[in-house]
Amino acid sequence: MGKRVGMEVSIAASEAVRLANVDVIAAYPITPQTHIVEHLSEFVNNGELDAEFVPVESEHSAMSVCSGSQAVGARSFTCTSSQGLILMSEIVYCTAAMRLPVIMVLANRSLSNPISIWNDHTDVMSIRDCGWIQYFAENGQDVFDHVLISYRVGEDRDVMLPVIVNMDGFSVSHVIEPVELVDQETVDKFLPPYKPDIVLDPAHPVTMGAIVLPSCYTEAKKAQDEAVKASMPTILKGWQEFGDLTGRYYHPIEEYRTEGAEVLLVTMGGIGETAMWAVDQMREKGRPVGLLKMRLWRPFPFEEFRKAASKARMLVVVDRAISYGGPGGPVASELRSALYNEPKRPLVANFIAGLASRDVAPFDFIEMVDRAEGACKKGMEPEYEIYGVRE
Amino acid sequence: MKPEQDYKWRDFERGYVITEPGSSREYHTGDWRSQRPIFDKERCIKCGVCWIFCPDCAIRFDAEGYAEMDLDYCKGCGICSRECLPGAITMVDEEG
C-alpha cells in the first residue's frame, strides 16, 4: 500500500500529476493555485518529470496550449482559480466540445468585484455548462486520488472528455494533511498511456474545431450532451477500480449518517467535513439529521441523488455561490429541479454561506437546520437566504 | 461527405473532427451572393489587383492571363469591382 505522509494539498496535487506522467503542463500563476504550478515547474526543472512546461502569458493561452497538446496525443495538465478561469473560459468550452481530455485542478476562489482572493464556488459556477466532467474534492486525499482518476476516466475511449477537479482554495489547497500516496507501479497499472485514435498529424491531416451550420449545430450539441451523460458508467468503473487498488472507494454522492434521517444537509467541497461534525452533534441530541456530500457535479447524478433524498422530509442545501436575482444557489436550484417530478419530494431550504472563505462552523450548520425547521413549522416553504449577513 | 442536412447526431466523428481534408470546397459559398460581378475582358489589363484583393480566393486566371470569377465561391462583395484599375468589373443584382 502507498506511503502516508503529511503534505500540503497543492503539493499532493502536483505529486499526482507527476505520477500520471503528463507530457505537457501549461499554467499561469494565480492565488490560490500557484503552489501547484510552482511545484510542477520544479519537477520539470529537476528532471523528475519528463514534460514540456510552457510558461504562458495568460490562462487563455494555458488552455489553448493544453488543448493543442492534447490534440496531438500528449497528456496535458493545467490549473487555475477565479479570474484566471474566466479569462480562459472561451477555450474551456472548446476543449470539451472537441473532446480533448485535458485535466484541470481548480483551487476555487471568489470572482471579482470586490476583489477577493478567498474561497467559494463562484468561479467554477460561472462555467457550469462548459461540458467538462466536474468533481468536487473534500480533502487532500480526494484531490490526489481524483487527479489520477480523472486521467483514467477522461481518456477512456468511451468518454474522451476533459475533467475539472475542484478543491477549495486555502482551506483545502494550502493546508497540510495526511495523504496516502500511490506508488508508481500501482499508478501505471491503473492509468495506461494516452493513446487517442484521432490526433493532429501532418501525415494524416484532419480538421479539428471546424464550423457547423445551423443545419447541424443542434445535432452537434445533442451528441455532446449524450457524451457527458454516457460518461457515468466509466466514472463509476474508474472509482471501483481505483478502490480495488487502493482501498479508497468513492461515490457520486457520499452519504453520512443518513439512516433514518428526516433532514439532510447537502454540501459540496471542503465544508462537508465540518458538516459531519455538526451532524454528529445533532445526532447526539437525538435529532434525525444526516448529510449528503455531492462529489460529482457533472454529469449530474440524478439517480443517486433522488435515491438518497427520497426518504428525507427536508433538505438543507448549503451553496457557496449565488445567482444574482435568480433562484438562489446553483446547487439548490439543480436539486429542486431534479426533485420536481418526483411524486414525493422533500422541501428544499437553501443557505448561501462561506462566501470568500467566511467560516462556516459546526454551529452554523445547526443554526441553518434550526432556521429551516422553524420556517417549515410556520408552513412556509423556505426560500434561499444569504446566511450570516449583517443587517 | 454527405449533405449536411443528412447528418443525425450519432453521425459525427467524436469532437466533430473532419477526417477528410479539403472538404470545405464542397460548401459553395457563392449561394450567399446578392450581386454578381460582370467582367469586361476588353478593359482588363491583366494587372491581378482583383486577384490580390478577393477575400475568398474566388478569382483565377485563364490561359491568356485574364481574370475569371469562380461563381461557386464568389460571395458578391464587390471588392474586386471597387479596386479594378481600368473599371473592368461591374456588379449587377442577381435575378430573384
pLDDT single digits (tens) B40-84: 999 999 999 999 999 999 999 999 999 999 999 999 999 999 999
CA distance A351 to A180: 34
CA distance B47 to A12: 66
Q: Which of A67, A95, A207, A225 to mutate to test the interface with B (most CBs of B within 10 A)?
A: A207
- Backbone φ and ψ of A232, nearest 5°: -55, -50
Write down the pLDDT at residue B96.
Answer: 64
* Sheet arrangement for strand A76-80: A52-54, A24-26, A76-80, A103-108, A163-168, A133-136, A296-298
Which amino acid is located at B90 in the chain?
Answer: T
Write down the pLDDT at residue B25.
Answer: 87
CATH number of A253-386: 3.40.50.920
Q: In terms of Cα–Cα distance, which of A222, A206, A174, A13 is closest to B17?
A: A206
**Angle at Cα A266 formed by Cα A290 and Cα A111, nearest 5°?**
155
- Backbone φ and ψ of A140, nearest 5°: -60, -40
CA distance B52 to B59: 9
Q: Does the fold of domain A253-386 match that of domain A4-246?
A: yes
Terminal CA-CA length for chain B: 30
CA distance A113 to A136: 24
Q: In terms of Cα–Cα distance, which of A214, A48, A295 is closest to A39?
A: A48
CA distance A186 to A108: 29
CA distance A164 to A145: 13
Write down the pLDDT at residue A382.
Answer: 59
Which among B9, B19, B23 is the nearest to A219, CB-wise?
B9
Q: In terms of Cα–Cα distance, which of B25, B81, B91 is closest to B53?
A: B81
Q: How is chain A split into domains, by residue range?
A: 4-246, 253-386
Q: What's the grid cell of residue A210?
A: 471546424
CA distance A313 to A300: 22
A105 close to A143: Cβ distance less than 8 angstroms: yes
Is B4 within 8 Å of A213 when comparing Cβ atoms?
A: yes
Q: Which strand (E) or helix (H) includes residue A133? A: strand A133-136
CA distance A68 to B87: 46
Show the domains of chain B with their CATH numbers.
28-93 (3.30.70.20)
CA distance A171 to A173: 6
Is A100 within 8 Å of B16 when comparing Cβ atoms?
A: no
* CA–centroid distance for A337 within its chain: 20
Q: Which strand (E) or helix (H) includes residue A357? A: none
Which amino acid is located at A292 in the chain?
Answer: L
Instruction: Going from the first residue of chain A to its last (391 residues), give the mean pLDDT of each consecutive group of 10, the final group possibly shorter.
Output: 89 98 97 97 98 98 98 98 98 98 98 97 98 98 98 98 98 98 96 96 94 93 98 98 97 98 98 98 98 98 97 96 94 96 94 98 98 84 87 93
DSSP state at residue B64: T
Chain A residues with CB-CB distance to B under 8 A? Answer: 97-100, 160, 198, 205-210, 212-213, 215-216, 219-220, 222-223, 226-227
Longest dimension (CA), chain A: 71
Q: What's the grid cell of residue A161?
A: 472528455
ipTM: 0.88
CA distance A47 to A24: 14
A320 close to A294: Cβ distance less than 8 angstroms: no
Q: Which strand (E) or helix (H) includes residue A297? A: strand A296-298
Tell me what the mean pLDDT of segment B9-17 comes to.
95
Omega cis (within 30) before A113: yes
Residues of A in contact with B28 (CB under 8 A): none
The neighbouring-strand residues paired with A298 are A134
Write down the pLDDT at residue B23.
Answer: 83
β-pairing verdict for A24-26 and A76-80: parallel
* Sheet arrangement for strand A314-319: A253-256, A289-294, A263-268, A314-319, A347-352, A384-386
β-pairing verdict for A52-54 and A4-8: unpaired
Size of interface A-B (CB pairs under 8 A): 55
Residues of A in contact with B13 (CB under 8 A): 198
A351 close to A385: Cβ distance less than 8 angstroms: yes
CATH number of A4-246: 3.40.50.970
Q: What's the grid cell of residue A108?
A: 476555487
Torsion of CA A236, A241, A242, A248, to 10 degrees: 80
- Rounded to whole angstroms, what are the CA distances from B32 to B24, B35, B71, B94? 15, 9, 11, 11
Q: What's the grid cell of residue A199?
A: 490526433
**Three-state secondary-structure class, residue A85:** helix
Q: Which of B1, B6, B17, B27 to mutate to test the interface with A (most CBs of A within 10 A)?
A: B17
Write down the pLDDT at residue A1.
Answer: 59
